Amino acid sequence: MQDKLIRFGVSMEDALLGKFDRLISKRGYTNRSEAIRDFVRKEIVEEGIHNGKAAAFGVLSFVYDHHVRELEAKLTGFQHVHYKSIISSSHVHIDHDNCFEVIILKDKAAEIEEISAKMLSYKGVKHGRLSLTLSGKEI
C-alpha cells in the first residue's frame, strides 16, 4: 500500500534551481518531485547506516593480484571467519595476473566497514570499494 502524497513548497535561489534542473535532467529525472524524493531517501539511508541500529547491506568489490603469496588463502580464510556477515561472493578471473571479487554482506554498518577495510588492506589487493545500503523497509 502506498503512502498518501503530500504537496509542499520549496523555495530556492534561481541559480541553485537552474543547477538542480541540469543535474536531474542529466540523471534522467522527468520531474523535480521524483528527484527530491530520491535525494531525501538517499539521506535517510545514509543516516540509517551511520546510526548503526538497522541491519545494513554491503557490496564490497575489489581487484587483486592472485600471484601475491598466500593472498587467496588469507582472503578465503578471513571470509570463513566472518561467514555470518558474508551472504555471497563471486570471483572473476580478469587476466593472467588479476582477479575481481564481489562480496555481499549483511550486518551492522560498522561491522561491514570493519570487515571490508581489513580485506582491502591485504598486500596484493590493488583497489576496491564498499557500497552500503539499508533494506527498503527502513526507508
pLDDT at 51 over 80: no
Nearest Cα to Cα of residue 107 among 93, 90, 91, 87: 87
Cross-strand bridge partners of residue 74: none
**97, 114 contact by CB (below 8 A):** no
Mean pLDDT of the chain: 91
Find out if CATH 3.40.430.10 is the number for domain 55-138: no
| pTM for the model | 0.78
Tell me what pLDDT residue 139 has: 58
Tell me what pLDDT residue 52 has: 67
Alpha-carbon distance of 36 to 38, in angstroms, equals 5
* 50 confidence band (pLDDT: 50, 70, 90): confident
Beta sheet of 98-108, edge-to-edge order: 86-93, 98-108, 55-65, 125-134
